[in-house]
Structure 1
Amino acid sequence: MASSTAGATERRGIPGAQFVEDVETYLTQSGLDVNSALSFLQERLQQYRVVEMKLLAQQRDLQAKIPDIEKCLDVVATLQSKKGTGEALIADFEIAEGIYSRASIDESDSVCLWLGANVMLEYSCEEATALLQKNLENAKASLEVLIADLQFLRDQVTITQVTVARIYNWDVHQRRLRQATGAAKDP
C-alpha cells in the first residue's frame, strides 16, 4: 500500500489534501518524522480555516447582495408598469438607519442606481433592468462558485483531519510495538 496522491489537486488557490493510505511510506517519501508531519498538517488545517473564514464572509456578502439587486429590479419593474397610467407611485424609502420617509414618484423614464464607492448614475429603465439583471446573474454565478469552493475546502479539511488521525494512531501503534518488543527482550 502506497500513499495516494489522487486527491492532491488544487482549486482556485486552495491546495488539495493528500489522503495517506500508508503512513510509513508517506513519512519515508516526505522525509518527515511523525511530529514534523503532524505539525505540517496542523498548520495546513489552520490555513484551511483562514480560507474558510474568508470564503464564508464573501458568501454572506453575496447572499445579502442578491436580495438587494432583486428588490431594485422589482422597483424598476414597478416604475415601468406605472408608466403611461398617469398614476404616481407612493414609496417609503430609508433616509438613515431606521428613519423612513414617504415619497410620491411621478412618471419617469430613468432611475438612479448606486454603483458603489459613493457613485450613482442615471440610467433609462431599460438600461437599469439590463444592468441589474447582469449583476444578479453574476452574483448568483459567483455564489455557486463560492459554494463549490467551500465544499472543496471542507473535503480537504476532512481528508487532512483523517490523515492526522491516521498518523497519530500509527505512531501510537508503533510505540506499543516497541514497548512490547522491549518488554519481551527484558526477562
Structure 2
Amino acid sequence: MKRFALCAALALMPVPAVADDIFCELPWFARNLIFDRAGYCFASPLGRATFDNTGCTGSDVTLSERDRAAIDHILDLEEVLNCAIDSNSPRLEHLAHFEHLRNADVVPAPVEHESGCIGYTGPVLPLRAAPQADARVIGELRPGDNVGFIFLNEGIWDYVLINEPDDVSTLRDAGWAPVGLGRIECEMYAG
C-alpha cells in the first residue's frame, strides 16, 4: 500500500496511476539536479533530456560538503529502494511532480519514510528557496493547508510540499520552512 503522505505530497494521483518508479524517479531527479547545478555534463539520453547541458563544465565537478552529504544520503536511499532508473529512457515519466525542486536554491534530499500534516493550524509562513531566513520567498504555507514531508530536514528547516485544504491532488507550493520537529501545528498527522 502506498503511504498517504507521499501520495499527497506527489499530488495524490489516483492509486492505480502511481507507478512504483515514481518512488525512484524522485531521488534520481534530486541527486542529478544537485550535479546539474555543480556544472555536470550529462551524457545519457535521460540526463540530457532532463537537464540543460548549457554551461556545463565536465563530469568531474566539485560539490559542497552539504551537497556531497545529500548525494550520499540519496544514493543510500536509492539502494534501499532498489532503484534502477533506465538512463537510456527519453524522459522521466513523473517529472512534472518534481519540477518544483528547480525553484529551490538548496536541493532537498528525499527520505524513505514520509509523513504529513493534515489541516495546518499555525500562522502563515513564507516558503524559502533555501533553509535560511534570508533566502528568497518561493511560496507560502497557510492555515488549513495539507503539508507533506518527504525530504530530509536541515536543522529546524524542512522542505515541505503544500496542497490546498480541499484539493490534495494538486501541489500548490513547495519550499523550505522552519517547521522542524514539534514546531508545526496540525489538526492531525499521517505517516
TM-score bucket of the superposed structures, by smaller chain: under 0.3
TM-score (norm 2): 0.21
The structure that is helix-richer by fraction is 1
Structure index of larger Rg: 1
